[in-house]
């Protein structure tokens, strides 16, 4: 829904005026700077976080994206529940500290009864997006701010939360509200997808359980023999020690498969003994095969049933996609870092990856996992800075059924249990609260975890890779990070250099991103002018590889380099050059040069030919060829 479809400015103003009347009825003091109602009880607050867990986790990435869009202009983002209770707050330190000083903290209520007119209270009242600016706020301390808020609704259209972006009044644009609306819509859609996925997963698990409970090996293939699915009995019979069915075509498994296919295409049911070619020696097996039809009664798949075997439980694993051969770089020091990472990849010791934001810490963590003997195990990543501290413990260690209000039936498995047999990456470890650091230290030392609401210790075999963009040694000195945990994590340190220290790699990365992003976005291949390549080489790239990649995506989408990006405030937007453009051809350069010389001599062909060092007839031929106007 677009912004213009909501209430007009006049209607919104009347709503605000009416809200002020209500504020007086509620006897709210306009000079107060904090909510009248704040949940200080940790148990009560924990219950509210648990009830809104899905909303918090779904909204957090979009809140971070909003703050990134307006980074440098002092904004903060609030998420409240449907009653106006703040669930999460993210933003730049200056304005966020100012908000916290006014008790705009998790647990505080921003509804009309408690704080008077503001964007969040208005959204709760009218169920539509709104922007409230300056003196439109009832509380005088908010007059320096503009707040843009939008509702978050569930599948039935009920208000379950409010997303609010607040900044100083001088830096807010009407389009700010549009950004918030887009983010709230995205959160709603993601919640819908998650709810759909939950229902789908329930159905899938039901079908999968039925499929895997059948005590015979079952495989399906398309009509060309490509394997589609197989149950656990089939993995046991035909797979390897890692429970993987490495072959992809059924003809590589069943001898004389062509005969089986022909019978299935004729609608015949097959029941016969066949020779099986699996990872072990060839053996005979009884096969039953039947065709699967589409709505037009055409054979589209074949289902194969083999001899009965015992049921095997399949492990649910996470996955790492990056490998060292996908890491781009030729800088000598950077190559040494890669070689060192490969050397320590198969160790059981804890790794601490240090580097500025955007240097590729997770890429290295995944590559280390895929280079180790744990490659077939799960890779689980958790950003400690993106999860509210009230949820970190349950995310890491899980919880038992009934441990708190809103806990799932049967409890919930934590990230460490999910990572058993593999690797867990704890990103932004410097953001982890001190009390959680104590619990993590125990896991590192003892290799066991305890779920919330349980006294049972669960052993886990997990390789820990921690990552941070902070100086943890300084954090230890400041008392914000435990010294004992620091030394437990910093057994095998890896320092990833910032891009400004890898200038040799910048042209390589530019070429790589130009090619890959153009292909992904279905855009034309572009060329960056040399003068801007030099500026890009000397640019500081504070956001490192991530900033460079985003910049390349920006210029590919806009087909120009924005003015002022490299400090040239007076420069116009420089257009990129299509790689297939005429201006890259040698003839284009010749035409341009001929035109300049002819103009210099004011159309005098004789003098122009002499200056060019060619005959007059040759010059006439080129003028005709290039259609140069004299």
Q: Is the pLDDT of residue 13 over 80?
A: no
Cα gap 370→321, rounded to integer Å: 8
Reported for 435-442, long-range contacts at CB under 8 A and 24+ positions apart, including other chains, are: 436/389, 436/392, 436/393, 436/396, 437/481, 437/482, 437/485, 438/482, 438/485, 439/393, 439/396, 439/397, 440/396, 440/485, 441/482, 441/484, 441/485, 441/488
pLDDT, tens digit, for every residue of 399-433? 887 666 555 666 788 899 899 999 999 999 999 98
Q: Is the pLDDT of residue 549 over 70?
A: yes
Nearest in space to 237 (alpha carbons), one of 304, 290, 306: 306
Confirm whether pTM is higher than 0.75.
no
Identify the residue whose tokens are 């059948």. Answer: 214
pLDDT of residue 520: 84
Give the pLDDT band (50/70/90) at residue 544.
Answer: very high
Cα gap 107→516, rounded to integer Å: 45
Sign, CA torsion 550/556/557/563: positive
Contact, 161 vs 80, CB < 8 A? Answer: yes
Phi, psi at residue 451, to the nearest 5°? Answer: -70, 155
Q: Report helix, strand and coil shares of the chain as percent, to nearest 5.
A: 45, 20, 35
Structure tokens that stand for 371 in this block: 């280079």
Structure tokens that stand for 193 in this block: 């997808």
Tell me the domains of the chain and their CATH numbers. 3-195 (3.30.450.40), 216-308 (3.30.450.20), 324-497 (3.40.50.300), 500-578 (1.10.8.60), 585-626 (1.10.10)
User: Cα angle at 459 between 456 and 461, to 5 degrees?
Assistant: 160
pLDDT of residue 570: 44
pLDDT, tens digit, for every residue of 351-410? 999 999 999 999 999 999 999 989 888 999 999 888 887 788 888 888 887 666 555 666
pLDDT, tens digit, for every residue of 31-59? 776 777 888 888 888 999 999 999 999 99
pLDDT of residue 586: 67
pLDDT, tens digit, for every residue of 205-220? 777 788 787 878 888 8
Identify the residue whose tokens are 């009825």. Answer: 25
Q: What percent of the chain has pLDDT over 90?
A: 34
Structure tokens that stand for 415 in this block: 């990230």
């Amino acid at each position: 829904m677009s912004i213009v479809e909501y209430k007009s400015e006049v209607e919104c103003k009347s709503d605000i005026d009416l809200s002020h009347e209500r504020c007086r009825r509620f006897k709210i003091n306009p000079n107060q700077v904090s909510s009248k109602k704040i949940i200080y009880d940790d148990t009560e607050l924990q219950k509210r976080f648990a009830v809104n867990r899905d909303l918090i986790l779904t909204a957090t990435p979009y809140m971070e994206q909003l703050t990134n869009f307006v980074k440098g202009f002092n904004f903060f983002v609030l998420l409240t529940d449907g009653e106006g209770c703040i669930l999460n707050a993210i933003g730049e330190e200056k304005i966020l500290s100012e908000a916290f000083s006014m008790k705009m903290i998790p647990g505080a209520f921003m509804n009309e009864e408690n704080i008077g007119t503001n964007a969040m209270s208005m959204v709760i009242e009218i169920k539509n997006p709104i922007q409230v600016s300056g003196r439109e706020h009832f509380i005088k301390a908010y007059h320096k701010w503009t707040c843009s808020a939008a509702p978050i609704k569930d599948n039935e259209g009920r208000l379950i939360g409010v997303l609010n972006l607040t900044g100083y009044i001088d830096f807010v644009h009407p389009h700010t509200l549009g950004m918030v609306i887009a983010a709230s819509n995205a959160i709603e859609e993601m919640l819908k997808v998650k709810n759909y996925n939950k229902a789908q997963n329930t159905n899938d698990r039901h079908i999968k359980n039925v499929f895997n409970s059948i005590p015979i090996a079952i495989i399906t293939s398309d009509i060309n023999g490509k394997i589609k699915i197989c149950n656990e009995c089939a993995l046991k019979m035909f797979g390897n020690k890692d429970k993987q069915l490495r072959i992809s075509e059924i003809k590589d498994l069943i001898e004389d498969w062509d005969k089986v296919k022909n019978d299935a295409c004729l609608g015949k049911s097959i029941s016969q003994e066949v020779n099986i070619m699996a990872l072990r020696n060839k053996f005979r097996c009884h096969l039953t095969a039947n065709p699967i039809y589409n709505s037009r009664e055409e054979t589209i798949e074949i289902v194969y049933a083999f001899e009965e075997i015992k049921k095997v439980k399949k492990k649910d694993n996470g996955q790492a996609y990056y490998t060292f051969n996908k890491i781009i770089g030729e800088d000598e020091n950077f190559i040494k870092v890669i070689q060192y990472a490969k050397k320590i990849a198969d160790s059981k010791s804890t790794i601490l990856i240090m580097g500025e934001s955007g240097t590729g810490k997770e890429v290295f963590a995944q590559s280390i996992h895929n280079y180790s003997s744990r490659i077939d195990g799960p890779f689980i990543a958790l950003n400690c800075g993106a999860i509210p501290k009230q949820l970190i413990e349950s995310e890491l260690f899980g919880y038992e059924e009934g441990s708190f209000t809103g806990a799932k039936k049967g409890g919930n498995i934590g990230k460490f249990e999910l990572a058993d047999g593999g690797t867990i990456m704890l990103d932004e470890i410097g953001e982890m609260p001190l009390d959680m650091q104590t619990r993590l230290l125990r896991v590192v030392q003892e290799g066991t975890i305890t779920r919330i609401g349980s006294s049972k210790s669960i052993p886990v075999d997990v390789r820990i890779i921690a990552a941070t963009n902070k100086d943890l040694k300084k954090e230890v000195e400041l008392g914000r990070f435990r010294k004992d945990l620091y030394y437990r994590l910093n057994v095998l340190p890896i320092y990833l250099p910032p891009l400004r220290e890898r200038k040799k790699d910048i042209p390589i990365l530019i070429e790589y991103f130009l090619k890959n992003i153009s292909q992904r976005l279905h855009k034309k291949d572009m060329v960056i002018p040399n003068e801007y390549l030099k500026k890009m080489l000397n640019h500081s790239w504070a956001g490192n590889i991530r900033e460079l990649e985003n910049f390349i995506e920006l210029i590919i989408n806009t087909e120009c380099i924005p003015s002022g990006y490299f400090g040239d405030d007076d420069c116009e937007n420089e257009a990129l050059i299509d790689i297939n453009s005429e201006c890259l051809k040698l003839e284009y350069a010749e035409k341009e040069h001929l035109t300049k010389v002819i103009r210099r001599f004011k159309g005098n062909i004789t003098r122009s030919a002499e200056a060019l060092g060619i005959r007059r007839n040759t010059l006439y031929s080129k003028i005709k060829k290039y259609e140069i106007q004299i």
